[in-house]
Amino acid sequence: NLIFDNAAQYGGGIDADESNPLIINNHIFGNRVTDSHLRHLAGDGGGISIFNSSAEIYNNTIHHNAAQRRGGGIVTQDEDIETHSMEIVIANNLIYANSVIEQNGGGLCLRERGTIVVRGNTVVANVAPTAGGILMSGDLLEIDFLNNIVWENIAPTAPEGITSAFVVADV
């Protein structure tokens, strides 16, 4: 599929909300999100937004998408921490030249709780004020991060490649 030149308040190209999508072999480009006050954080996920969902994202080309707040290429987020925990696989994708205007995760913004596998991706030339390439943060977030290329991302105020900020909850 070609998913391009779309505009939305979240998930410019694809928005998965309380679902279990398989996103495979797509070309996702030129999509954008803007900010507003809706159910989940608007302005997130220029290319793909995964919200309170599990997902498998394989073999996609995700580029030249723009987000107002987080995740120019992809944002994952789980706010339903009492009843839901995401299981997400992001593998063998080319994620490049995506941008974020206000916050973080130019290429990927992986937030909140769950298990996330990030393997074999190329994340290059993405831009954000912080975490130009990848932001990984959350409460009880488990990440399997292996064999990725993260290169020449831009973030003028914080690490350009990979930024991790985890909160450890009391058990």
Mean confidence (pLDDT) of the chain: 87
Cβ neighbours of residue 170 closer than 8 Å, sequence gap 6 or more? none
CA 1 to chain centre: 19
> Mind listing the pLDDT tens digit for each residue in 138-170?
766 788 899 999 999 999 876 788 887 654 443
Cα angle 152-158-159, degrees, rounded to a multiple of 5: 45
What pLDDT score was predicted for residue 171? 34
Highest mean pLDDT: which of 9-13, 28-32, 81-85, 128-132? 28-32
Structure tokens at 156: 């003028």
Report, as an integer, the average pLDDT of 73-92. Answer: 83
What pLDDT score was predicted for residue 42? 63
Strand-pairing partners, residue 22, are 56
Of 31-35, 91-95, 126-130, least confident by mean pLDDT is 31-35
CA 64 to chain centre: 14
